[in-house]
Structure 1
Amino acid sequence: MRFRSPHREPPEINLIPFIDVLLVILIFLMLSTTYSKFTELQITLPSADADKLKDRPQEVIVGIAADGRFVINRQAVEGRSVDVLIGALRQASGGNAETSVIISADAATPHQAVINVMDAARRVGLSRVTFAAQADAH
């Protein structure tokens, strides 16, 4: 009598539960990832539109040198106090509250000099303040 060994089928690997688990992990990672977004800072960036160039409000460009000297619309400002800056900004803006102040400061400018310009602009009533930056060369 010959006994046959039971015929065994090769084991199957069921991939459906494995795929389900991977999809759940993928969805979890997608929902929990932050994308280099600074949610702590509420910044409204200006937008540019070439058609509205004529409607652009007046600009006052404030240059700050590395040693803290000020230039407003290419005119040197004598003194470094906030009161002197208030007078110069009031004259440059002509009393127009819609005037934008563009601060163009050297990278080595003292922080206090930039704060003085921002304080003077606030006291004059100029609330549109922006900073000029140079594009990175790489």
Structure 2
Amino acid sequence: MKFRRRHNEEPEINLIPFIDVLLVVLIFLMLSTTYSKFTELQVTLPTADSQTMKDRPAEIIVAIAADGRYAIDHQAVEGRSVDLLTTALQQAAQGRPDPIVIISADAATPHQAVVNVMDAARRANLPRLTFAANKPRE
């Protein structure tokens, strides 16, 4: 009997099929992935730092409280509908040549309340709008 020592060969890992599979998966992921860009609006709100006007045109001041109540030229408007605001703005604009509507809203006012005033001004044929702002603190 002949006893020989066997040479144990280390098993070899063939990497070529592994790399092929990884490349196929990579190509599949690249083709099937949709790239969507999430855009953001970079908004820098302006501050009002101007001199007072010398000639003041006809102004209609619309004040909006934090809870959505309206006052036009210091007169409270009953109700919050656009139709009521339109009639109140038309009455306030009578006898004033080319008036400017100044929207003075509280910081906590709902956005819809401001949009309602803008819509009412458009319906009342008052195209000149502006917003009141505080002078920035130094």
TM-score by length of 1: 0.59
SS in 1 for 2:76: strand
Alpha-carbon distance between aligned partners in 2 of 1:49 and 1:113, rounded to the nearest angstrom? 28
With CA pairs under 8 Å and 6+ residues apart, which has the higher RCO, 1 or 2?
2
CA RMSD of aligned residues (A): 2.2
TM-score by length of 2: 0.59
| Deviating 4+ runs (over 4 angstroms) | 46-49
Change (3 A) 1:137 1:86: same
Could you tell me which amino acid in structure 2 is paired with residue 130 of structure 1? T
- On the 8 A contact 1:97/1:126 being kept in 2, the answer is no
Could you tell me which amino acid in structure 2 is paired with residue 109 of structure 1? T
Alpha-carbon distance between aligned partners in 2 of 1:116 and 1:49, rounded to the nearest angstrom? 28
- On the 8 A contact 2:58/2:97 being kept in 1, the answer is no
Change (3 A) 1:79 1:49: closer
Match in the other structure for 1:71: 71
Query: Greater CA radius of gyration, 1 or 2?
Result: 2
Alpha-carbon distance between aligned partners in 1 of 2:52 and 2:115, rounded to the nearest angstrom? 26
Match in the other structure for 1:129: 129
Specify every segment of 5 or more residues in structure 1 that has no aligned partner in the other structure, as ranges.
1-37, 39-45
Identity of aligned residues (%): 61
SS in 1 for 2:102: strand
Alpha-carbon distance between aligned partners in 2 of 1:97 and 1:124, rounded to the nearest angstrom? 14
Specify every segment of 5 or more residues in structure 2 that has no aligned partner in the other structure, as ranges.
1-41, 43-49
Higher helix proportion: 1
Change (3 A) 1:66 1:90: same
- On the 8 A contact 1:97/1:127 being kept in 2, the answer is no
* CA apart distance, 1:48: 6.1
Change (3 A) 1:75 1:48: same
Pairs aligned (count)? 90
After TM superposition, the structure 1 = structure 2 runs for residues 40-51 of structure 1, keeping only pairs within 5 Å, are 50=54
Say if 2:80 is the partner of 1:80: yes
Match in the other structure for 1:92: 92
